[in-house]
Amino acid sequence: MLDITQDNFESEIAQGKVLVDFWAPWCSPCMQQLDILQNIKKPAYKICMVNVDDADNKVLARQHMVMGIPALLAFEDGKLLNRKSGVSNEADITAMFYQ
């Protein structure tokens, strides 16, 4: 998993399938989501993390209309495919790229 910020967000989502998890360290559901993400074996997509507690990332969260966390956004070649709020299991996460 890759921690990303406002500075490298666009370049990290530009190519391929990318899952972005907007989270915060104090958020219990975010920690549950992190456990699920860490246990995904060989995902067919890159997983990136955005800590919304970082000042620059608050702007990034607003730009992507993140209203609650955890929030998962699925991108392919820089285009938003899908979004989910709350804790999601591996099957639901993978389905975000194929709906």
Domain ranges of the chain: 2-80
In the chain, how many H helices and how many E strands?
4, 5
Lookup: tokens for 99: 């709906």
Domain 2-80's class? alpha beta
Task: Give the rounded percent of residues in the chain with a pLDDT score beyond 90.
Answer: 88
How does pLDDT run across 2-34, given as a tens digit for each residue?
Answer: 999 999 999 999 999 999 999 999 999 999 999
For residue 22, the surrounding DSSP H or E stretch is strand 17-23
- The Cα-based distances of 75 to 6, 18, 21, 86 in angstroms read 16, 5, 11, 18
| Beta sheet of 46-51, edge-to-edge order | 2-3, 46-51, 17-23, 71-76, 79-85
Say yes or no to pLDDT of 99 above 80.
no
